[in-house]
Amino acid sequence: MRDGSVVYLEGVSKIYPTAAGEIFAARDVTIDVQPGEFYSLLGSSGSGKTTTLRLIGGFEIPEYGRVWIGGEEVTEQPPYRRNVHTVFQSYALFPHLTVAENIAYPLRIAKTNRAEVAERVEESLRMFQLKGMGDRRPSQLSGGQQQRVALARALISRPKVLLLDEPLSALDAKIREEVRQELRDLQKQTNLTFIYVTHDQEEALALSDRIAVMHNGQVQQIGTPKQIYDRPTSLFVAQFIGKANFLKGTVLEANGETAAVEVSGTKIWAASPGRSPTIGDAVTLMVRPERLCLSETAKTAKADNQLSGKVASVTYVGQLVELKVETPIGLLTVTQLSSTADLSPEQSLSWNANECILLPD
């Protein structure tokens, strides 16, 4: 086990047999989650994020690898012997029980005495703004209220870790953002460890301390939202998170973690964090649209890369404008804050090497 981790998966694989052979729902997944962390598993459907969550919850037993929770190996333990609780995507509230009975369920199972159950349920109803709704059935509540009941029920017996499986996906777009903030506040207040499954990158970037990006059952990259966005380590992560310009080229010069790359006959300086590229390698460069600077005259201040460009199209997105700029190395997308001034079509484009990430093909 890894010391200090509240949840540690060590090389975990989950295999499903199908008619066409074995399918790895999760392949060699290793993650360590620190106490008090808001940790997201981000990926599209079929990426293995939900399988990974179910392996932690105990709903699946991995074929390979081991699972630790709170320093204790629980790889083959059933869900009821694990000190983690789950908030299900469908909330999974018991329809035949009232809101108060739903919230009290884990305490009743643990044979907590009646007075304490009543007291803690009352406190929980107050905390989740469900006061006066204790006697209702889940079906009589709105989606947002049902979600708060699910949270209250999962938290009442004070687990070490809360697992959340796309908890916001069933809510209206309008209240989703509101609930998102509430979730973050709740996690900070309680100082609990949250492991959060989502396919929504914006959600993951806004909420998480760390994100594990998953694809095809494998972890692609683990890092803070800033690391994932600014320093993707693979083409997949760069394409999956946010928007970006991708440029194909060949390495001309390598100088530690900086490199010069030839793209359509132009030399572009780029950063290669964590590894030194080899001269002659085919690579892809990634640069975010908002990191490209437009100016009407060539900048006197030194930028590592400078190109002349011609504005081909302008799209207003309210606060931002998105421009397509024709350059010697191809059509680049640039975003900047919108302004009332008209743009002249002739522009100079510049950016620094560390805004431009070199990714191996």
Partner 1 sequence: MTNAPSSTEKRHTQQQPWLLTLWTILVYAFLYLPIATLIFISFNDSAILSLPFKGFTINWYEMAFGDRSLRLSLWNSLQVAAMATLLATGFGLLAAFAIYRYQFFGKTSFRIALNLPILLPGVVTGVAMLAYFSSLGLELSLWTVILGHAVFGLPVALGPILTRLSQFPRSLEEAAYDLGAKPAQVFRGVIFPYIRSAIVSGALLAFTLSFDEVVVTIFLTGRDNTLPMEIWGRLRTDITPEIAAVATLVLIASTGIVLLSQWVVGRDEG
Q: Write phi, then psi, for 162 (nearest 5 degrees).
A: -110, 125
What b-and-e string marks burial along 141-156, b requiring 16 or more CB atoms within 10 Å of the CB?
A: beebbbbbbbbbbbbb
Neighbours of 190 (CB within 10 A): 14
- Residue from 154, 195, 197, 205 binding partner 1 (CB under 8 A): 154
Q: Does 94 bind partner 1 (CB under 8 A)?
A: yes
Closest approach of partner 1 to the CB of residue 75, in Å: 16
The answer to whether 332 touches 248, Cβ cutoff 8 Å, is no
Q: Does 210 bind partner 1 (CB under 8 A)?
A: no
Span from 65-73, 83-91, 175-183, 328-336 in contact with partner 1 (CB under 8 A):
83-91
- Residue from 4, 11, 71, 78 binding partner 1 (CB under 8 A): 78
Residues found in the chain? 361
The answer to whether 35 touches 81, Cβ cutoff 8 Å, is no
Q: Which is nearer to partner 1, 22 or 185 (CB)?
A: 22
DSSP-derived letter for residue 15 is E
Closest approach of partner 1 to the CB of residue 141, in Å: 16
Closest approach of partner 1 to the CB of residue 30, in Å: 24
Q: Which is nearer to partner 1, 59 or 246 (CB)?
A: 59
Span from 37-45, 151-159, 209-217, 300-308 in contact with partner 1 (CB under 8 A):
151-159
The answer to whether 53 touches 59, Cβ cutoff 8 Å, is no
Span from 51-59, 65-73, 269-277, 332-340 in contact with partner 1 (CB under 8 A):
51-59
Q: Which is nearer to partner 1, 154 or 358 (CB)?
A: 154
Report how far residue 122's alpha carbon sits from residue 328's, in angstroms, rounded to the nearest whole number: 67
Q: Does 147 bind partner 1 (CB under 8 A)?
A: no
Three-state helix/strand/coil letters over 236-288: HHHHHCCCCEEEEEEEEEEECCEEEEEECCEEEEEECCCCCCCCCCEEEEEEC
Tokens of 295: 């100016």
Q: Does 109 bind partner 1 (CB under 8 A)?
A: yes
Q: Does 64 bind partner 1 (CB under 8 A)?
A: no
The answer to whether 10 touches 30, Cβ cutoff 8 Å, is yes
Q: Does 90 bind partner 1 (CB under 8 A)?
A: yes
In order of 119, 120, 167, 348, the CA distances from 105 in angstroms are 14, 12, 20, 65
Interface residues for partner 1 in 215-234 (CB under 8 A)? none
Span from 45-53, 87-95, 189-197, 336-344 in contact with partner 1 (CB under 8 A):
87-95
Neighbours of 353 (CB within 10 A): 19
Q: Which is nearer to partner 1, 86 or 198 (CB)?
A: 86
Q: Does 16 bind partner 1 (CB under 8 A)?
A: no
Closest approach of partner 1 to the CB of residue 74, in Å: 13
Helix (H, G, I), strand (E, B) or coil at 135: coil
Span from 69-77, 86-94, 229-237, 296-304 in contact with partner 1 (CB under 8 A):
86-94
By the 10 Å C-beta count (0-12 exposed, 13-18 middle, 19+ buried), 122 is classed as middle
Span from 28-36, 42-50, 53-61, 275-283 in contact with partner 1 (CB under 8 A):
53-61
- Residue from 43, 57, 225, 289 binding partner 1 (CB under 8 A): 57
- Residue from 18, 96, 189, 319 binding partner 1 (CB under 8 A): 96
Q: Does 105 bind partner 1 (CB under 8 A)?
A: yes
Tokens of 46: 């079929």
List of residues contacting partner 1 (CB under 8 A): 57-59, 78-80, 84-86, 88-90, 92-96, 105-106, 109-110, 153-154, 157
